[in-house]
């Protein structure tokens, strides 16, 4: 008698890193996702994000790419994540620049990150945009409203005080927790609010 081992297919998440400030958020999110072996990450990094990663973090691009299960070139418009037939649970753009926000809002899919987001919207899958700019212009706000009305979650990486962060790592981890919570993924160190626990 032969026993057939059935391996459960992994859940897939598309992660786009664009060139807004906050590249460290993407690194933390990828690290947290690695702690969940039932998930498979598909990463695409914009050209500008390569610059912000270098300017804002001490991370090598290669190391960041190694955190993902699969990496796709921003130029590879024929990658699996460019098609709706490739099943995913959704997409996160972290951080999301105003340029990438604009491309997604208008369906101007001239790179793989934008195409993958366009696919996520057309397939009506969850799309979380960790938009970062300050102050926000009316153009930025209009683009956010357009995408919110289409069902995307607009989640600026706002600092929180109620979780009593001690440092940048705490602040970053709280934002990662909020993002991954949208996909039912628990994050180590993420403190949910519970007024009863406040001394
Ligand atoms: C250090 C640095 C920080 C930046 N921060 C932001 C930002 O917070 N928000 C934003 O929209 N653009 C920011 N930019 C500008 C974007 O990188 C630029 O608009 C770029 O064209 C975005 O391209 P992408 O969306 O394809 O990644 C920043 C650029 C640099 C170099």
Concatenating the DSSP letter of every residue in the chain gives --PPPPPPPPEEEEEEE-SSS-HHHHHHHHHHHHT-TTEEEEEEE-HHHHHHHHHH-S--HHHHHHTSSEEE-TT-TTSGGGSTTS--S-EEEEEE-HHHHHHHHHT---SHHHHHHHHHHHTT--EEEEE--SSPPHHHHHHHHHHHHTT-EE------STT---SHHHHHHHHHHHHHHTTT---TT-----GGG--
Mutate to test the pocket of ligand 1, among 19, 47, 144 (most ligand atoms within 8 A of CB): 19
Mean pLDDT of 163-190: 96
pLDDT at position 196: 76
- Does the C-beta of 97 come closer than 6 Å to ligand 1? yes
pLDDT tens for each residue of 119-147:
999 999 999 999 999 999 999 999 999 99
- Does the C-beta of 104 come closer than 6 Å to ligand 1? no
Mean pLDDT of 63-81: 98
Banded pLDDT at 6 (limits 50, 70, 90): low
Token pair for 132: 């970062």
- Does the C-beta of 40 come closer than 6 Å to ligand 1? no
Phi, psi dihedral angles at 93 (to 5 degrees)? -110, 110
- Does the C-beta of 172 come closer than 6 Å to ligand 1? no
pLDDT at position 31: 98
Using the mean position of ligand 1's atoms as its centre, give its distance from the Cα of residue 193 in Å. 32
Using the mean position of ligand 1's atoms as its centre, give its distance from the Cα of residue 19 in Å. 4
Q: Whose CA is nearest to atom 30 of ligand 1?
A: 52
Atom of ligand 1 nearest to the CA of 17: 27
Averaged pLDDT of the chain? 95
- Does the C-beta of 99 come closer than 6 Å to ligand 1? yes
Using the mean position of ligand 1's atoms as its centre, give its distance from the Cα of residue 57 in Å. 15
Query: pTM, whole model, 2 decimals?
Result: 0.95
- Does the C-beta of 139 come closer than 6 Å to ligand 1? no
% pLDDT > 90, the chain:
91
Q: Are 35 and 43 in contact (CB under 8 A)?
A: no
- Does the C-beta of 16 come closer than 6 Å to ligand 1? no
Using the mean position of ligand 1's atoms as its centre, give its distance from the Cα of residue 95 in Å. 9
pLDDT at position 103: 98
Of the candidates 12, 8, 48, the one whose C-alpha atom is nearest the C-alpha of residue 132 is 48
């Amino acid at each position: 008698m032969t026993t057939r081992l059935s391996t459960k297919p992994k859940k897939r998440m598309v992660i786009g890193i664009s060139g807004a400030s906050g590249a460290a958020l993407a690194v933390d999110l990828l690290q947290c996702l690695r702690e969940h072996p039932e998930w498979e990450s598909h990463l695409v990094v914009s050209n500008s994000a390569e610059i912000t990663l270098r300017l804002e973090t001490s991370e090598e691009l290669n190391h960041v790419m190694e955190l993902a299960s699969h990496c796709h070139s921003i130029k590879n418009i024929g990658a699996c994540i460019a098609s709706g037939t490739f099943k995913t649970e959704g997409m996160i753009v972290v951080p999301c620049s105003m340029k990438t926000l604009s491309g997604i809002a208008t369906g101007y899919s001239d790179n793989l990150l934008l195409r993958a987001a366009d696919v996520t919207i057309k397939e009506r899958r969850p799309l979380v945009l960790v938009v970062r700019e300050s102050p926000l212009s009316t153009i930025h706000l209009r683009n956010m409203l357009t995408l919110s009305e289409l069902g995307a979650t607009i989640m600026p990486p706002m600092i929180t005080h109620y979780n009593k962060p001690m440092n940048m790592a705490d602040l970053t981890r709280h934002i990662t927790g909020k993002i991954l919570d949208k996909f039912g993924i628990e994050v180590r160190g993420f403190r949910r609010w519970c007024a009863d626990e406040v001394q």
